[in-house]
Chains A and B, each alone.
Chain A
Amino acid sequence: MADTIAQPAHTGPDGEPTRRDFLLIATGAFGAIGVAALAWPFIHQMNPDASARALASTEVDVSSIEPGQSIKVFWRGKPVFIRYRTEKEVTEARAVSLEELKDTAARNANLGDNADASDANRAVAGREEWIIMVGVCTHFGCIPLGEQGDFGGWFCPCHGSHYDTAGRIRIGPAPENLAIPVFAFLDESTLRIG
């Protein structure tokens, strides 16, 4: 609509725009705004609805998890890995220097964006053997398999991404470390995710 009015077809005798030009531009602009306003509900209806947004958090009893065990819990349609790591895994994770990492950001929603991907920033503060992560590969969203891969951490079978025992991407096409969701221990045994 706006294109058609750009032609200087209706210039006045002295080359000045005429009242008709003004009317065409005003009408075109008004129409364009109207189309954009009308388009938004059609676009926004595809975003998560109120019922999806309402499922923002979940609470889990983690008291029965022993060292070397992990559980998967369901949060926002995705699995969350909760792992009580063994001594060996923690030692291995701590021994890795930041230079060896593909992604040096912690990707921990409980910390700031600037936190580095050291094991301390990845593990649960105050329970350093524990690690809680969204179990979704940062490549294309598959679920990595636990205690597998070249680093004894997680391995994504879809496109071959290897994560270490702190959930950090080491080899493969995934660009980021496994994401750590917002969580809090409400008491000794109850974990709230989200």
Chain B
Amino acid sequence: MSGPSSYNPQTGIEKWIDARLPLPRLMYDSFVSYPVPRNLNYTYTFGGILSVMLIAQILTGVVLAMHYTANAEMAFASTEHIMRNVNYGWLLRYMHGVGGSMFFLAVYIHLFRGLYYGSYKDPREILWILGVIIFLLMMATAFMGYVLPWGQMSFWAATVITSLFSAIPLIGDSVVTWLWGGFAVDDPTLNRFFSLHYLLPFMIFGVVVLHVWALHMTGQTNPTGVEVKSGQDTVPFTPYATIKDTFAMVVFFVVFAYFVFYQPNYLGHPDNYIEADPLVTPAHIVPEWYFLPYYAILRAVPSKLGGVVLMFGSILVLFLLPWLDTSKVKSAVYRPLYRQFFWILVAVCIVLGWLGSKPPEGGYVWAARFATAWYFFHFLILLPLLGLFETPTPRPASITESVLGEDGDTHPDAGAETQPAGAAASPQSKG
């Protein structure tokens, strides 16, 4: 997709296809000869991991749907039926459930990688915005999927999250009734959530195609933030990136498999093994771990509308990020102040997640208020000002120079502190 195609069909059948539908050419140019910066570290492997996770979720989801019944009377029993009767049903369901968590783990690493290396900056704004859209679609998909087993947490999560829309002035209650298809979360709600839960992953897939397209227009960022300047700065996607991505996937899937086989319910909640009861709310409603920071923001605000606005605002602010960050320097490696504030932001997000799991009382509420304020302060005030006042450290003239190193000892600390071990060194040995 970038530069002239280097695909050279050899056999007659390849030439025949290439003249009619050049799909092999597109694949070759996108995933074989496509040039990637030679200094990508392991934080750059999560895009590939996420693609595989999306396919894994679609595969397990499609087969689970063959055994699941989207009916309020039968949904809980059919989930247990999958667990007990369906051949390998337990495995498929645990892969799908744990897979959701692993998907979010990977997307958070991917997202913070983007924040650290300035992946959202000119000329990658649309690439970044498409990523945020994928993130929103993922959240909607995960939420609706969590409702399907029709346990207590499913039911009350559905009630609380749909009720968020009741905060909209004037039309809020009508919107909620419309979402429910009744006067409470009930069978019509479950049915439509199932329908949409099946649809949305394919919409995600479509946006992922656009995301990859946009990526291949601009090329990847890299840990130096210096754009590719010559062929020397890059290596072909295959074998270098493919093998690196594959190795990272194997390691990632070891973690995934550990949870599937040894701790399949660790990331879930025991209350969801109690069938939904519209008359009893569980004593502590908490969302899945990947929604906890947003839940903490929601509860930090002593106003219903205000909480909802800030919660959605915490994601919407990411859409504006390319224009909020005024610094021309992409990589945090060369931004001494931003680098510190980046890690503070990471800590604030983790603390918000922890607070989201705590009951909304006393000191927890105040801590959540402070953390929420800091989150918005970071994006809305700090980033615009930091670009004006910060003095970046000297950047290498090119990617090649940063790797092969006339200046190998200029930024020894930055490299060690910010990158997984050995990341920047690997292209050199292949070189």
Contacts and interface: CB of A to CB of B under 8 A. Distances in A.
A, B assembled together:
yes
Interface of A: 43, 46-49, 52, 72, 74, 76-79, 136, 139-145, 156-160, 172-175
Contacts of A77: 182-186, 278
A48 B177 contact: yes
Contact of B281 (A43, A47, A157): A157
Residue among A136, A141, A173 facing the most chain B CB atoms (10 A cut-off): A141
B361 interface: yes
Contacts of B178: 43, 46-47
Given A47-B181, A139-B304, A141-B163, 15 more contacts: A46-B181, A47-B177, A47-B178, A48-B177, A49-B181, A74-B279, A78-B184, A140-B163, A140-B304, A141-B160, A142-B160, A157-B282, A158-B160, A158-B281, A173-B303
A147 to B, nearest CB: 15
Contacts, number: 90
B297 to A, nearest CB: 12
B420 interface: no
A52 B182 contact: yes
B130 interface: no
Nearest to A44: B178
Contact of A143 (B162, B179, B280): B280
A157 B271 CA distance: 15
A160 B181 contact: no
Contacts of A139: 163, 304
A173 B167 CA distance: 12
Nearest to B72: A77
B167 to A, nearest CB: 8
B408 interface: no
Interface residues of B, number: 38
A35 B127 CA distance: 31
Residue among B156, B183, B307, B360 facing the most chain A CB atoms (10 A cut-off): B183
A142 B152 CA distance: 12
B188 interface: yes
Q: Which 4 A-B pairs have the closest CB atoms?
A: A77-B184, A76-B183, A140-B163, A141-B163
A70 B279 CA distance: 14
A98 B180 CA distance: 34
Nearest to B185: A77
A173 B183 contact: no
Interface in B153-178: 156, 159-164, 166, 177-178
B84 interface: no
Nearest to A171: B302
Residue among B182, B186, B303 facing the most chain A CB atoms (10 A cut-off): B182
B284 interface: yes
Contact of A79 (B279, B299, B303): B279
A72 B277 CA distance: 13
A142 B285 contact: yes
Contacts of B181: 46-49, 52
Contacts of B156: 142, 158
A173 B361 contact: no
B24 interface: no
A157 B183 contact: no
A173 B299 CA distance: 8
A160 B360 CA distance: 6
Nearest to A73: B279
B411 interface: no
B22 interface: no
B397 to A, nearest CB: 47
A143 B163 contact: no
A52 B183 CA distance: 8
Nearest to A47: B178
Contacts of B192: 46
Residue among A77, A145, A172 facing the most chain B CB atoms (10 A cut-off): A77
Given A49-B181, A140-B163, A142-B160, A74 B360 contact: no
B405 interface: no
B307 A48 contact: no
B336 interface: no
Contacts of A175: 303-305
A161 B5 CA distance: 63
Contacts of B231: none
A143 B304 contact: no
B239 interface: no
Nearest to B305: A175
A180 B159 CA distance: 20
Contacts of B182: 48, 52, 76-77
A74 B177 CA distance: 18
B283 interface: yes
Contacts of B422: none
B359 interface: yes
Contacts of A141: 159-160, 162-163, 166
Contacts of B160: 140-142, 158
A19 B164 CA distance: 50
Contact of A157 (B163, B185, B283, B301): B283
B188 A49 contact: yes
B360 A159 contact: yes
B188 A52 contact: yes
A173 B281 contact: no
